[in-house]
Amino acid sequence: MPRNLEIKVKLSSHKEVKSIIKKNKIGFAGLLIQKDIYYKVNNGLLKLRIENGNQTLIFYDRNEKSKKRWSDYHLLEIKNTDGNKYLTKFLDVLTIVNKKRELYLFNNTRIHLDYVKNLGYFLELETKVVNGLRDAEKRFAHLVDLLNLNDKEEIRASYKDLLIKKNKK
């Protein structure tokens, strides 16, 4: 199962981070319009991501209480069917997260500048494990430092959890 190391932080805007990204010539990989439909499952998280017309079923498992936020995940591309129509025949929908994501790529790390409807601005890093955990940690730490994230409060929850919590208020 693929694995990555993650961080999520809330921002007031993306302005400062974009300036650092531009200064360091980090490559822009595209603008993604995403709709994540989360389903009720016994273990981990399961969502159908509809992104620029494509559908991917994503299962991931992450211990939000561990010191480092490692995530194990599976991706399954859905073709020739309405994934949500099919899945809702046997799964309940928990919530739907709509976001606009600017994707940047640097050294096997995905940098997400997200605007999440009803939640605001966020930055996520996902450093993929390719040459062992230590190497991933080193590459991850470099970007955390470069983007000045050390003094930011890390959010240890999915957008699903943040949205459900907000809607309960």
Ordered DSSP codes for 27-94? EEEEEEEEEEEEE--SSSEEEEEEETTEEEEEEEEE-TTSSS-EEEEEEEEE-SS-HHHHHTTTS-EE
pLDDT value at residue 67 = 78
Instruction: Please tell me the distance from the alpha carbon of residue 33 to that of residue 106, in angstroms, as a whole number.
Output: 21
List the one residue out of 125, 134, 119 whose CA is nearest residue 152.
125
Instruction: Please tell me the distance from the alpha carbon of residue 106 to that of residue 22, in angstroms, as a whole number.
Output: 12
Indicate which CATH number applies to the domain containing 19.
2.40.320.10
**Phi (first) and psi of residue 156, to 5 degrees:** -110, 65
pLDDT value at residue 65 = 76
List the one residue out of 49, 47, 79 whose CA is nearest residue 60.
47
Q: Map 147-161 to HEC letters.
A: CCCCCCCECCCCHHH
Q: Tell if the pTM clears 0.85, that is, is over it.
A: yes
pLDDT value at residue 107 = 93
List the one residue out of 45, 104, 49 whose CA is nearest residue 72.
45
Asked if residue 94 lies in contact with residue 44, where contact means CB atoms within 8 angstroms, the answer is no
pLDDT value at residue 147 = 97
Measured from the Cβ of residue 117, the count of other Cβ atoms closer than 10 Å reads 13
| Two tokens, residue 85 | 């129509």
Per-residue pLDDT of the chain (169 residues; tens, 9 = 90+): 788 999 999 999 999 999 999 999 999 999 999 999 999 999 989 999 999 889 999 999 887 777 788 988 999 999 988 999 999 999 999 999 999 999 999 999 999 999 999 999 999 999 999 999 999 999 999 999 999 999 999 999 999 999 999 888 7
pLDDT value at residue 119 = 97
Q: Residue 56 sits in which domain range?
A: 3-168
Number of domains in the chain: 1
